[in-house]
Amino acid sequence: MPGHISDERIPNNVDLGGDKRLQRALERWQPDFIDWWMDMGPEGFQVKDIYLRTAISVESGGWAHFDYVRMPEYRWGIFLEPRKEDRVIGFGDEMGKPVWQEVPGEYRNMLRRIIVTQADTEPASVEQQRLLGQTAPSLYDLRNLFQVNVEEGRHLWAMVYLLHSYFGRDGREEAEELLDRRSGDEDHPRILQAFNWPITDWLHFFCFTMFTDRDGKFQLGALAESAFDPLARTTRFMLTEEAHHLFVGDTGLNRVVRRTAELMRQHGDDGVRAAGGIPLDLIQRYINLWYSLSLDLFGGEISSNAADFFATGLKGRWKEDRYEEHTGLGQSYTMNKVEDGRLIEEDVPMRNAMNEVLRDAYVADCMKGLARWNKSLVKAGLSDQLTLPDRKFHRQIGIYADMHFSPTGDLIDEATFEKHASSWLPTDEDQAYVASLMKPVYEPGKMASWIAPPLRGINGRDIEFEYVRL
Ligand code: BYC
Ligand code: FE
Ligand code: FE
């Protein structure tokens, strides 16, 4: 039955039992994963029953089963979308040829690097979020946090399967190292910068799942186009899980905004803090931070790596089918660059601009979230609006790093940036204030003072449902 997931020690739909060597290698990695999960996974809730969804099939609709599970007993497994027999490469120099079921020798290093980079973010995010359970604003949110965490763990499994099956000994070594690096560790950090920031409060968490998980959506979407078919098939299924992570961030922020708007109406702008809410300007600074950190995850604006990934068929664009032309040759992308202290426009060969093309799709998607939150403000009768900063603001990677821009995209000097930094990015005082609000609310159906209840519960359950049995 296509899509059926076997009930072995490692649940899978890739006939793992038919490849004993691979199965044994993964079964050796499994206890190391569990050790890592016990050390670095959610602190304090490992023996609690959590109302979680578990993948039981990869068919669209009906793939998820909901029940109480203890996290260390979650059925982490390997689930790929079923293979399409006649799938061909959809872009780049080898367009139209059959997709690869094995890794071509000449692309092995590039592909391994992409997979390792993707893989590294998954456990990193679990490490970043490990203390949040202690301050959840409701049982509903606590459950959502753990759902995200176990699924990021599964995403690690998805990538480790590829490393073990297609990259031999190097792949097995990389899989070990994925459990050795630690988010924020000075000597042994995670690969990408945004994954080394601790997520110390729930406003950071909602911004992270809104903006940083959304990088995941677009990177996975680009890999879902890959000529390496097992990578395309595994990322396609990961995307179905990713939707919930984005939902948590988007609706989480919307609920914070709705609560703030309610308090602004009742107590005026200056009364929000006294009423235990989060002022809108503070929310804006958190948005500015996580949006800019997440923009960096797309890599440099002008990138020969990106050009190679596209030319070779390793990594496509978001929904490559949307484009009429799939080689990216003979086209250019107009980029804003800085020359002699001025912003100028310059045409860049399209293939070298592929990181920016993917970033464009991401920016448009983020704007939809902003529009939803702003609608909540309008509905509350307020004229205030949240915005996304310009993409040049506060960048550490790419052509705008080492320069300073205002949130509206003006090129400014360092002194001007420093003068305004405390109104543009979260200050220590902001974070201390948010931290002071982080008191756990564990009574079913109750919400912390700074967040509105969700519109509905999970899987048709009430908001009052006991999502976590404490
Ligand atoms: N931090 O040509 P460039 C997710 C390095 S999130 C540090 O500009 P390229 C998730 C780069 O390695 C999705 N270093 O970049 C979310 C290169 O180094 P070398 C994760 C960076 O290679 C939430 C140099 O700078 N998936 O799933 O085109 C929760 C110049 O490189 C950064 C992926 O990222 C950075 N931000 O693009 C859980 C997909 N950016 O060669 C999960 C796989 C660049 O000079 N990764 N560098 O030593 C890729 O496709 C690419 O590696 C990147 C970078 C798009 C990240
Ligand atoms: Fe993930
Ligand atoms: Fe995610």
Provide, for the chain, the percentages of residues in helix, strand and coil under a 3-state DSSP scheme, each rounded to the nearest 5. 50, 10, 40
Please give the pLDDT value at position 104. Answer: 97
Amino acid occupying residue 304:
S
Q: Cα–Cα distances in Å, from 426 out to 67, 179, 289?
A: 38, 31, 7
* β-bridge mates for residue 468, sequence order: 50
Q: Is the beta carbon of 212 within 6 A of some atom in ligand 1? A: yes
Which CATH number does 16-469 carry? 1.10.620.20
Dihedral of CA atoms 35, 36, 40, 44 in degrees, nearest 10, equals -30
Please give the pLDDT value at position 56. Answer: 83
Give residue 60's pLDDT band: very low, low, confident or very high (50, 70, 90): confident
Please give the pLDDT value at position 3. Answer: 58
DSSP state of 320: G
**For the chain, how long is the longest CA-to-CA vector?**
66
Averaged pLDDT, 137-162: 98
Instruction: Tell how many helices (H) and how many strands (E) occur in the chain.
Output: 12, 7
Least confident of 1-15, 140-154, 155-169, 207-221: 1-15
Least confident of 1-10, 395-404, 405-414: 1-10
Q: Is the beta carbon of 219 within 6 A of some atom in ligand 1? A: yes
Please give the pLDDT value at position 1. Answer: 46
Q: Is the beta carbon of 121 within 6 A of some atom in ligand 1? A: yes
Averaged pLDDT, 93-98: 98
Amino acid occupying residue 455:
L
Taking the centre of ligand 2 as the mean of its atom positions, its distance from the CA of residue 20, in whole angstroms, is 27
Q: Is the beta carbon of 300 within 6 A of some atom in ligand 1? A: yes
**Residue 218 CA: which ligand 1 atom is closest?**
13
Radius of gyration of the chain (CA): 23
Who contacts 401 (Cβ-Cβ below 8 Å, separation ≥6)? 395
* Chain segment 201-234, per-residue pLDDT in tens: 999 999 999 999 999 999 999 999 999 999 999 9
* Chain segment 278-287, per-residue pLDDT in tens: 999 999 999 9
Cβ–Cβ < 8 Å for 289, 393: no
Residue whose Cα lies nearest atom 46 of ligand 1: it is: 114
Computed over every residue of the chain, the mean pLDDT equals 96
Instruction: Examine the pLDDT at 396 and tell me if it is beyond 80.
Output: yes
Report the half-sphere exposure of 56 (CA within 13 A, side-chain side): 9
Please give the pLDDT value at position 116. Answer: 98
Instruction: Examine the pLDDT at 101 and tell me if it is beyond 80.
Output: yes
> Count of CB atoms within 10 A of residue 276's CB?
14
- In degrees and rounded to multiples of 5, residue 122 shows phi and psi of -70, -60
Percent of the chain with pLDDT over 90: 96
* Chain segment 174-184, per-residue pLDDT in tens: 999 999 999 99
Give the dihedral sign, CA 403/406/412/417.
negative
Give residue 401's pLDDT band: very low, low, confident or very high (50, 70, 90): very high
Taking the centre of ligand 3 as the mean of its atom positions, its distance from the CA of residue 159, in whole angstroms, is 14
Instruction: Examine the pLDDT at 2 and tell me if it is beyond 60.
Output: no
Q: Is the beta carbon of 201 within 6 A of some atom in ligand 1? A: no
Least confident of 2-11, 43-52, 442-451: 2-11
Please give the pLDDT value at position 397. Answer: 97
Q: Is the beta carbon of 397 within 6 A of some atom in ligand 1? A: yes
d(CA 142, CA 134) in angstroms, rounded, equals: 9
Tell which one of 305, 335, 394 to mutate to probe ligand 1, the residue whose CB is within 8 A of the most ligand atoms. Answer: 305
Give 338-369 as a DSSP string: EETTEEEEEEEEGGGGHHHHHHHHHHHHHHHH
Taking the centre of ligand 3 as the mean of its atom positions, its distance from the CA of residue 334, in whole angstroms, is 31
**Residue 298 CA: which ligand 1 atom is closest?**
55
Percent of the chain with pLDDT over 70: 99
Q: Is the beta carbon of 114 within 6 A of some atom in ligand 1? A: yes
* Structural domain boundaries in the chain: 16-469
Question: Which pTM was predicted?
Answer: 0.97
- In degrees and rounded to multiples of 5, residue 49 shows phi and psi of -85, 125
Instruction: Examine the pLDDT at 80 and tell me if it is beyond 90.
Output: yes
Among the bound ligands, the one closest to the CA of 207? 1
Cβ–Cβ < 8 Å for 123, 152: yes
d(CA 98, CA 89) in angstroms, rounded, equals: 6
The token duo for 266 is 């009742």
Q: Is the beta carbon of 305 within 6 A of some atom in ligand 1? A: yes
Strands 411-412 and 404-405, bridge-based pairing: antiparallel
